[in-house]
Structure 1
Amino acid sequence: MPGSQPLRTTAEHRRLLDVMGDDRDNVSWRRWGPYVSDRSWATVREDYSADGEAWDFLPHDLARSKAYRWGEDGIAGLCDRYQILVFAPAFWNGRDPFLKERLFGLTPAEGNHGEDVKEYYFHVDNTPTHSYMSFLYKYPQGRFPYEELVDENRARQGQGLEFELIDTGAFDDDRYFDIEIEYAKFDEEDLAIRVTARNRGPDPAPLHIIPQLWFRNTWSWAGGDGRPLDEGDEPRISIAPRRSPSFVELYADDSPSTIPKGMPIPYSLGRRSLYVDPGMEPLFTDNETNMPRVFGPGNVSRKPFVKDAIHRTVVDGEACTNPAEVGTKAGLLYRFEAIPPGGSATVRLRLSDKIGQDDPLGPIDELIALRRGEADSFYGAIRPIGASDDEAMIQRRALAGMLWTKQIYLFDVHDWLRGDDPGWPPPDSRWSIRNQHWLHLNSMRIMSVCDKWEYPWFASWDLAFHCVPLALVDPQFAKDQLWVLLFEQFQHPNGQIPAYEWEFSDLNPPVHAWSVWRVYHMAAQFDQKHYGREARDRGFLERCYHKLLINFAWWVNKVDRQGNNIFEGGFLGLDNITIVDRSEPFADGTVIEQADATGWMGMFCLNLMRIALELAKENPVYQGMATKFFQHYAYVAAAMKRMGGRDYQLWDEADGFFYDVLRYPNGEFHTLRVRSLVGLIPLYAVERLESAWIDQFPSFKASLSWFLKNRPDLVSDVVHECPSEDGQGVTLVLTIVDREQLHRLLERVWDPDEFLSEYGIRSLSRAHADAPFRFDDRVVGYEPAESVSKLKGGNSNWRGPIWFPTNFLLIESLRKLGKAWGNTDGICRGDAVLTYNEMAADLADRLIAIFRATSEGMRPVFGGSRVFQSDPNWRDYPLFYEYFHGDEGAGLGASHQTGWTGLVACLIDEWKAESGTVGVPGSSDQVVTKDPPPATVRGGERVD
């Protein structure tokens, strides 16, 4: 490796080398992982209704009884890469009306911000190859208050804060179990499992632990024409004939099965053994729908033993499991009648391709300790030198959440729309509700989803952000994820990238070129840092670039209908930020010309320009593409401020801000004077071109010079000259705003009475608390917490809270501005200048501070929760929420949307990197150095 940098290579890093081949997901250390959804009920995929109301078609109460079509769910579930075989534990405290097989939550009609999980669980640890995983679930010892949670939240009618599980008293006097589920791999196909329940309460308490193993139901519709397979073609689980006093062996065999329809390769698991502790009662049934319960009396189940039989046996005392001890689903019932206060109960299992082992369970504790130590070493090598222990913990938990939130995303839209049984087709209305234009979308991919309970599906702009923190620990997986959305079975033939399963045709911001560019550099840094090799994956970059060109053309042709480079982007992910639902067109032909859509497109142009220049280092042909996107940036940027002879523009000179404009069919217009992220997003379009650096691209440089000379009408306000850092040339700073406009915008950004919070940048100016924007009978006011407005189902709130992705991009822009204009420019604060770099560093620290414990031990993310703030069994388990209170930093919305909030891991990585000594604890993988750490990728560039 060049220089004196030591390699930070651990056992987990070496395992990652095994997953970089073309077949990496099928036969590698990543073949088995946490790919089971936390919720499959009430998803679009499982909705076969006439009205598209997915939450009503398959609610929580029916989930235990209906076989899923498109993927299983469970608590801390594990499965293989194509989810043929699934494992997950279930629990029963002796008081609940349901076996605790899956997490409970509220529907949009019952809750406040939309779909809302009402459980407490934590992604404690995970490694990229899933060689070690730890998950903590807190299970009350009393009856779970299902009805109280629904009734109280419904009574609040969507106003104020949510009524949470902890508010019900379910955890009073610590009457709950801390249940830790751990997985560790002996090798790629051999997995150790340990479930440990600790009684935190003052009295002995009973608990049933029921590990469950089952086959996903692929046989009921395996023929692809609704024809079920013959019974002999189904997989089976049974007890092995041999007996041992120290373990029981179950066989799970998919050999008789027909390969499920649509599999890209021949794939089967063959026979597996599940070794378990003795002392349990085996219960067998089939993963089949209980037809009378789900569809009403008169319906007949395909088999007598159905999916909910284990629940009915344990909770209701029915004799309804298969006495022959064979089926496609098995539960192992361990009864612990009285776990003492402070005591624990443990169950050990092993799921393995190694049949007939003599001592399968003996090495489990030792293996788990080994793999956990290797995980310590891995994260020790990831940890930035300047991070405190608390910040290192936050980073590790954030990354663990990213790795736990992987899911096998199974969805064939063509089959879904057509229905599974031609004799019982779905209603015709189904074809007009959603996704009828996406018949080509067919996924059997492991994907990073937003949240495996609240949002157990991919969302395209979320995923682009997910890939950035994922690249810190598994850059190959990050690259694979970005490619998935551009792959033919995802990207529409017209070039559109699918948005999310509720409506793939909706619009998310075009951030994928930015993510591709950043992950490309982060992957190179990872290789250098951990493997000592200089590698730039230009194949990945070029492959993605070609598809991004198609996507760019779709944007230009679809949402720039006037051809004036002002974009009518629609939804763009900012659910309720304005007065109307931007997904819906106006009936009279009125359109919203959007400052954020146009700003995103300016950023998109600059991203594609930089990628083209990188590819032009090896292929000069790409210089022409770089020229094209530089010029297109100039057209877009100029159009935002000069509308080609019109009498209005998106930049408001009086306010010093960008606003959306309503344009009416008769040519009249109305400026929507809402100071929000919509007006800040144009700041994201920032790049710099140093004269000496572009000498290597003579064709591009010549075209650039011509354009600058001959089109001053376009470039004078959006291409700015400043001296290069070395003083030997000039740097062209490409920004939609000039320096005066930039200062005016940033004055508002850095004003506590407007955008600046103690914990980041608000999504709406606080000025609208006292001066809400009014238009007709609609109002946009500052709402720092849960939203009063319920556009897009009430899932999100962009009217004041703090969001990580938009803050993260602003930090990137500030850093680029600091690099371009140096450490003397910024905004005035008294007699001093607050520079762009200082603003970026300050903003990063404010975001990290949401999770960091104060000197009093309080974490802002937990808000006013006494238990979370003070109890040692709660306070060090930060949750990575969807968004955060605009004034107080408390977590809001989805509680486990680590996806883009996981960007905090990158902020810690990039802003806590200092020289010193780093030790990787507890391992022979220890690394000690007094040299500076390797270069960090910042803003898509290496910064040494």
Structure 2
Amino acid sequence: MSAAAGPGNGGTPVSAGQIAARSTAVLESNWRKTHTVPAAGLYPHQWSWDSSFIAVGLSRVSPRRAGQEMDALFAGQWDDGRLPQIVFDPHRDQDYSPGASFWQSRQIPGAPEWVETAGLVQPPNHAWAVWKIHQADPAESRRRSFLERNYPKLVRWHAYLSGRRNRGGSGLASIVHPWESGTDNSPLWDTVMTRIPADCKTELNRPDLQHADPGERPSQKEYGKYFWMAERYRDHHCDDADAHYPFLMEDPLFNTLLAVSELALADIAAELGLPGTAHRTRAKLITAALEELYVPELGCYSARDITDGSVVHKATINGLIPLLLSGHTHTDDLLATLNGPRFMAGKALLVPSYDATADDHNPALYWRGPAWFNMSWMVAEALERVGRREQSNYLRGNIGRLAAEHDFPEYVDPWTGAAHGTRSFSWTAALALETTYPRSAS
């Protein structure tokens, strides 16, 4: 393996071998017998889309363990097909809020009886991860019937999103909480959040502030709004039938990953000798429906509030992720936006999460400016698909180098690489590990 590439803020070069070894050590320390926690202190349970990114990295060194990661998550699947945002460790309820005692999922019809989960979901990158795990070692995958076991679960998961979550009737899945987007306090949600009350019934215990600087986390008022929505969703038994629920957003990131995962399901179906046409058709329909979220003056996609039909006019990393899809007509515009002043211009090392020209851009505050390793990894994947290999390699090189140099931080300043959030973060380690291996088909 060669040294990690990519210009940055100096320092001794870190070899790919060193990145791989350090990344693997982080993943090993965060392993909990059946799954990997995102971070030992701040995030002590299993998170849904985290596990998929983690599994992608793990598949490079242990496809079997990567498969176990997904098996543990699928064990929390609800009867309606949803894959929950969190599968809780019952021994760590006091270490994260809202925990199992808040959701009381075993009292909700259709939730699994053998494990406690959150009622919300996260972006559907799971089929994509399952396919990558299979590709890493097809013989082991076939021996363990990995695809046969998980294909029906993934089909049910997608059916839930395309059915009960098609709240706007557009063919796009709606999210019902900022936490479901994965980009929790993104500026995309600012306008709708002004309509959300902050007077939740739950006492706001903030164990997260024991592990991260308050200036890098959402405020107490924002948490009050988050809990108010979670309480209302929980108190309606998470049934997606609350006609006057105030937060219903169509997010380009969430729906792009649904389309990407439908294409992965088509590949899985083909491997199993099953027809995959329906999956490819759904991917095309989602890609076409995403066009309603494209904002020409921003040069990227944005989110739509289906309670009033308005599209948010803010440029975020969510709006660049459709680069992963080939069925739209905006590749050149998205590349121009990515490389323009809103994002990578100014020699950014990784992709900012929010428009760098915006007055409220903050390169240290959670999803309001910093660069996240999973997002830059997806952009690198997209750049590879559209033939921009040099820029893809630039991002991949910086993912590995910055991760190893800064003890695998949750996120970083896009231009200086300064670390923020918690350390020894699992998806950072997993995706840094993935970048040390040769490129493979997605």
* TM-score, L = length of structure 2: 0.74
Indicate whether 1:630 and 2:199 are aligned: no
Q: Which residue in the other structure is 2:328 paired with?
A: 737
Q: Return the alpha-carbon distance in structure 1 between the equivalents of residues 244 and 372 of structure 2.
A: 32
Q: CA deviation at 1:895?
A: 1.3
Q: 2:64 aligns with which of 459, 476, 481?
A: 476
- Alignment check: 8 A CA contact 1:659 1:678 kept: yes
Q: Which residue in the other structure is 1:938 paired with?
A: 440
Aligned residue identity for 2:22? R
Q: CA deviation at 1:450?
A: 0.9
User: Any idea what SS the aligned residue of 1:454 has?
Assistant: coil
Q: Which has the higher strand share?
A: 1
**CA gap 1:901/1:737 in 2 versus in 1, 3 angstroms:** farther
- Alignment check: 8 A CA contact 1:659 1:672 kept: yes
Q: Which residue in the other structure is 2:82 paired with?
A: 496
Q: Return the alpha-carbon distance in structure 2 between the equivalents of residues 458 and 890 of structure 1.
A: 27
Q: Which residue in the other structure is 1:652 paired with?
A: 295
Q: CA deviation at 1:661?
A: 1.9
Q: CA deviation at 1:590?
A: 6.4
Aligned residue identity for 2:162? V
Q: CA deviation at 1:451?
A: 1.3
Q: 1:600 aligns with which of 234, 248, 257?
A: 257
Q: Return the alpha-carbon distance in structure 1 between the equivalents of residues 82 and 425 of structure 2.
A: 25
Indicate whether 1:684 and 2:212 are aligned: no
Q: Return the alpha-carbon distance in structure 1 between the equivalents of residues 65 and 294 of structure 2.
A: 40
Aligned ranges 1:303-452 → 2 under 5 Å: 384=1, 390-408=15-33, 446-452=34-40
Indicate whether 1:461 and 2:52 are aligned: no
Q: Return the alpha-carbon distance in structure 1 between the equivalents of residues 244 and 169 of structure 2.
A: 21
Q: Which residue in the other structure is 2:131 paired with?
A: 517
Aligned ranges 1:820-835 → 2 under 5 Å: none
User: Any idea what SS the aligned residue of 1:783 has?
Assistant: coil
Q: Which has the higher helix share?
A: 2
Q: Which residue in the other structure is 1:892 paired with?
A: 420
Q: Return the alpha-carbon distance in structure 2 between the equivalents of residues 840 and 899 of structure 1.
A: 18
User: Any idea what SS the aligned residue of 1:401 has?
Assistant: helix
Percent of matched pairs sharing the same residue: 24
Q: Return the alpha-carbon distance in structure 1 between the equivalents of residues 250 and 285 of structure 2.
A: 16
Indicate whether 1:883 and 2:411 are aligned: yes
Structure 1: 5+ residue runs without aligned partners? 1-383, 409-445, 528-534, 617-621, 642-648, 686-734, 771-780, 788-796, 819-835, 853-858, 862-878, 911-936
Q: Which residue in the other structure is 2:379 paired with?
A: 810
Q: Which residue in the other structure is 1:550 paired with?
A: 156
**CA gap 1:663/1:582 in 2 versus in 1, 3 angstroms:** farther
Q: CA deviation at 1:389?
A: 6.2
Give deviations 1:432-477, integer Å, cap 9, x for gaps: xxxxxxxxxxxxxx32111122211110111111112222222211
RMSD: 2.5
**CA gap 1:588/1:606 in 2 versus in 1, 3 angstroms:** closer
Q: 2:363 aligns with which of 784, 787, 800?
A: 784
Aligned residue identity for 2:80? N
**CA gap 1:536/1:816 in 2 versus in 1, 3 angstroms:** farther
- Alignment check: 8 A CA contact 1:461 1:512 kept: yes
Give deviations 1:501-560, integer Å, cap 9, x for gaps: 4351122110110110001111249x7xxxxxxx75572112111110111111112210
Aligned residue identity for 1:492? W
Q: CA deviation at 1:563?
A: 3.1
Q: Return the alpha-carbon distance in structure 1 between the equivalents of residues 295 and 157 of structure 2.
A: 30
Aligned ranges 1:647-796 → 2 under 5 Å: 649-664=292-307, 668-685=308-325, 735-738=326-329, 741-755=330-344, 758-768=348-358, 770=359, 781-785=360-364, 787=365
Aligned ranges 1:83-482 → 2 under 5 Å: 384=1, 390-408=15-33, 446-482=34-70
Aligned ranges 1:26-41 → 2 under 5 Å: none
User: Any idea what SS the aligned residue of 1:473 has?
Assistant: coil
**CA gap 1:541/1:386 in 2 versus in 1, 3 angstroms:** farther
Q: 1:614 aligns with which of 268, 271, 274?
A: 271
- Alignment check: 8 A CA contact 1:755 1:764 kept: no
User: Any idea what SS the aligned residue of 1:605 has?
Assistant: helix
- Alignment check: 8 A CA contact 2:262 2:279 kept: yes
**CA gap 1:524/1:605 in 2 versus in 1, 3 angstroms:** closer
Give deviations 1:296-344, integer Å, cap 9, x for gaps: xxxxxxxxxxxxxxxxxxxxxxxxxxxxxxxxxxxxxxxxxxxxxxxxx
Aligned residue identity for 1:748? T
Q: 1:567 aligns with which of 166, 173, 176?
A: 173
Give deviations 1:407-449, integer Å, cap 9, x for gaps: 25xxxxxxxxxxxxxxxxxxxxxxxxxxxxxxxxxxxxx3211
Q: CA deviation at 1:817?
A: 2.4
**CA gap 1:890/1:939 in 2 versus in 1, 3 angstroms:** farther
- Alignment check: 8 A CA contact 1:812 1:939 kept: no
User: Any idea what SS the aligned residue of 1:766 has?
Assistant: coil
**CA gap 1:480/1:848 in 2 versus in 1, 3 angstroms:** closer
- Alignment check: 8 A CA contact 1:594 1:660 kept: yes
Indicate whether 1:640 and 2:304 are aligned: no
User: Any idea what SS the aligned residue of 1:841 has?
Assistant: helix
Q: CA deviation at 1:640?
A: 1.8
Structure 2: 5+ residue runs without aligned partners? 5-12, 89-98, 104-117, 194-224, 234-242
User: Any idea what SS the aligned residue of 1:902 has?
Assistant: helix
Q: Which residue in the other structure is 1:213 paired with?
A: none
- Alignment check: 8 A CA contact 2:259 2:283 kept: yes
**CA gap 1:651/1:758 in 2 versus in 1, 3 angstroms:** closer
**Corresponding residue pairs, total:** 354
Q: Return the alpha-carbon distance in structure 1 between the equivalents of residues 41 and 298 of structure 2.
A: 42
Give deviations 1:479-514, integer Å, cap 9, x for gaps: 111122223xx1111111121143511221101101
**CA gap 1:901/1:749 in 2 versus in 1, 3 angstroms:** farther
Give deviations 1:600-643, integer Å, cap 9, x for gaps: 22222211112112222xxxxx12xx1101111121111122xx
Aligned ranges 1:12-91 → 2 under 5 Å: none
- Alignment check: 8 A CA contact 1:609 1:629 kept: yes
**CA gap 1:737/1:575 in 2 versus in 1, 3 angstroms:** same
- Alignment check: 8 A CA contact 1:449 1:899 kept: no
Q: CA deviation at 1:752?
A: 4.8
**CA gap 1:749/1:468 in 2 versus in 1, 3 angstroms:** same
Aligned residue identity for 1:638? A
Indicate whether 1:847 and 2:399 are aligned: yes
Larger radius of gyration: 1
User: Any idea what SS the aligned residue of 1:478 has?
Assistant: helix
Q: Return the alpha-carbon distance in structure 2 between the equivalents of residues 605 and 548 of structure 1.
A: 9
Q: Which residue in the other structure is 2:115 paired with?
A: none
**CA gap 1:662/1:407 in 2 versus in 1, 3 angstroms:** same
Give deviations 1:160-185, integer Å, cap 9, x for gaps: xxxxxxxxxxxxxxxxxxxxxxxxxx
Q: Which residue in the other structure is 1:356 paired with?
A: none
Indicate whether 1:540 and 2:154 are aligned: no
Aligned residue identity for 1:560? N
Aligned residue identity for 1:766? A
Q: Return the alpha-carbon distance in structure 2 between the equivalents of residues 537 and 551 of structure 1.
A: 24
**CA gap 1:516/1:890 in 2 versus in 1, 3 angstroms:** same
- Alignment check: 8 A CA contact 2:299 2:337 kept: no
Give deviations 1:844-864, integer Å, cap 9, x for gaps: 122233256xxxxxx5x3xxx
**CA gap 1:901/1:748 in 2 versus in 1, 3 angstroms:** farther
* TM-score, L = length of structure 1: 0.36
- Alignment check: 8 A CA contact 2:2 2:15 kept: no
Aligned residue identity for 2:155? L
Give deviations 1:120-140, integer Å, cap 9, x for gaps: xxxxxxxxxxxxxxxxxxxxx
**CA gap 1:473/1:595 in 2 versus in 1, 3 angstroms:** closer
